[in-house]
Structure 1
Amino acid sequence: MSQLNIGVVVGSARRDSFSKKVAEELVSYLPESYQVHFLKIDQLELFNQDYDDDGTTPNSWKTFREEVKGMDAYIFVTPEYNRSIPPVLKNALDIASRPYGQNNWSGKPGAVVSVSPGATGAFGANHHLRQVLSFLNIYTMQQPEVYLSNIGDLLDENGNIIEGTRGFLKSATEAYTDWVSKFKG
């Protein structure tokens, strides 16, 4: 397989984010032919269509749109805020899907992973994100579904992901690799 560019979008801006820790673990299992790019979303100005309409598009948006466009596939790892995705993630999705008719996410495979310190595994965020990605024409992997609940219990005393969870993440990553190959084989 030729080299593929994989865009990883972590839906949390928090420095010590559980989502970031999980994303870093996931990408450690990807094949060497996958070039991983963590797409930075925490410095993007809030979306406002007026910027594009007025020709005052922020440089951060232009750069981000080009980065998204250059990816072959995506992995989204998100926490849950009030049963949905964090605003920083929705903002990034909106920015790279605009201006209208210039959706840079479209037609590419993706995976959704949700992480929560609570018992639901960010179920609400996972499904809201899938709904948005469907509209953006990202083909999300359906199985396995990855909901990591009680994330604090899935870390050892040094903050590393425990063995059983690592095994699950490895198998999910293998399924993702198979999923991507259906589109980018």
Structure 2
Amino acid sequence: MTKHRIAFINGSLRKDSFHGRLGLAITAAATDRLAITALQIDDLPLYNQDVDGDAAPPSYRRFRKALQASDGVLFGSPEYNRSMSGAMKNAIDVGSRPYGQSSFARKPAAVFSGSPGMTGGFGSNHALRQSCVFVDMPVMPQPEAYWGLLNDDKLAADGSVNDEMLAKFVAGFAKAFADWIDLIVAGRASLALDPTQQG
């Protein structure tokens, strides 16, 4: 079975954030099928078209190269004012440019959000999905992941899950994402082998 290389983008810059912990939990649950690597985004200057191309700062080039080398992308973002974090939006802007050279294009994606509150970052999750669709990423439709009522007792700093329901959901989400990538990859391989099915 192919082990897919996944870039994980955490929209929270907070140390020991719940999204970072959830990323670790998903990584542990999918270790046999997904090799997940967290990408650094806190050093990406705000996107500026003036520095596209050869003028791009080293952090832009590093981030884009890591995305290009991945087979898929896992997104996790807290909800700020009913949308994704500024750091996440900037990462999407940087990765999707220069125009026509998006490092996200055609890469299977999965989105999760969470919070100590009841709604689990619902607004962030859907704002993020909208951007993913626009930059041409096939986003896993189900299961949707809005993990609410998160706390240190349920989810430790090392990503270990101490809540049976959350652990089951994390495991199911990780498996579904691996299956989703397999489905997208198999579909593309089928099209490549059968030119009559190509548009």
The answer to whether the superposition gives a TM-score over 0.5 is: yes
Aligned pairs (5 A) from 1:1-185: 1-52=1-52, 55-152=54-151, 155=154, 160-161=160-161, 162-185=163-186
Shift of 1:155: 1.4
CA offsets 1:108-132 (integer angstroms, 9 cap, x no match) = 1111001111111111000000000
Q: CA deviation at 1:85?
A: 0.4
RMSD of aligned residue pairs (Cα, Å): 1.6
Give deviations 1:163-185, integer Å, cap 9, x for gaps: 22011110111111111110224
In our comparison, the structure showing a higher alpha carbon Rg is 2
Moved over 4 A (4+): none
Q: Which AA in structure 2 matches 1:42?
A: D
Q: Give the C-alpha shift of residue 3 in structure 1.
A: 3.4
More strand by share: 1
> Per the alignment, in what secondary structure is the counterpart of residue 108 of structure 2?
strand
How many residues get paired?
A: 183
* Distance in 1 between residues matched to 2:34 and 2:111, nearest whole Å: 18
**Shift in Å, 1:144:** 0.7
8 Å contact from structure 1 (residues 13, 42) kept in 2: yes
The superposition leaves residues 89-143 of structure 1 with CA deviations (integer Å, 9 ceiling, x where unpaired) of: 1111100110100011000111100111111111100000000000011111111
Q: How does the TM-score come out when normalised to structure 2?
A: 0.86
Counting aligned pairs with the same residue, the percent is: 37
**5+ long unaligned stretches in structure 1:** none
